[in-house]
Copies of this chain bind each other. A is one copy, B any other.
Amino acid sequence: MEDRVKRIEKALDHFLPERKGSLSETVTDAMRYSLLNGGKRVRAVLTLAFCELCGGDEDMAMPFACAVEMVHAYSLIHDDLPCMDNDDMRRGKPSNHKFYGENYALLAGDGLLTKAFETALSSEAFRNVGMERAAYAAAVLARCAGEHGMVGGQCIDLATENRTVSLDELCEKDTGKTANLIMAACMMGCIAAGANETQINAAKEYALHIGLAFQIRDDILDVTGDAKELGKNIGVDAQNARCTYVSILGVEKAQALVDEHTEKALHALDAFDADSTFLHEFAEKLATRSK
What is A's interface to B at a CB cutoff of 8 Å? 19, 22-24, 26-28, 31, 74, 78, 81, 83-84, 101-104, 106-107, 109-111, 113-115, 117-118, 121-122, 126, 131-132, 134-136, 138-139, 141-143, 145-147, 151-156, 158-160, 169, 172-173, 176
Contact = CB atoms under 8 A, between A and B. Distances in A.
B142 A136 contact: no
Cβ-closest 6 pairs across A and B: A27-B155, A83-B102, A121-B139, A135-B135, A118-B142, A24-B152
Given A114-B145, A121-B139, 12 more contacts: A23-B169, A24-B147, A24-B159, A74-B110, A107-B158, A110-B110, A111-B147, A113-B113, A117-B141, A126-B135, A131-B131, A131-B132
A96 B154 CA distance: 17
Given A23-B173, A134-B135, A159-B23, A151 B114 contact: yes
Count of identical protomers in the assembly: 2
Contacts of A159: 23-24, 26
Contacts of A27: 147, 151-152, 154-155
Contact of A104 (B102, B109, B134, B155): B155
Contacts of A158: 26, 103-104, 107
Which DSSP category, helix, strand, loop or mixed, fits chain A's interface? helix
Contact of A138 (B117, B132, B143): B117
A23 B159 CA distance: 7
A176 B27 CA distance: 13
Contact of A176 (B24, B102, B109, B117): B24
25 contacts: A23-B155, A23-B160, A24-B151, A24-B152, A24-B155, A26-B159, A28-B147, A78-B110, A83-B106, A84-B103, A103-B158, A107-B151, A109-B110, A110-B110, A111-B146, A111-B147, A114-B147, A114-B151, A115-B146, A117-B139, A117-B141, A117-B142, A122-B139, A131-B131, A134-B135
- Centre residue among A113, A134, A151, A160 by max chain B CB count within 10 A: A151
A207 B150 CA distance: 34
A106 B81 contact: yes
A19 B152 CA distance: 11
A240 to B, nearest CB: 14
A119 to B, nearest CB: 8
- Centre residue among A104, A111, A136, A155 by max chain B CB count within 10 A: A155
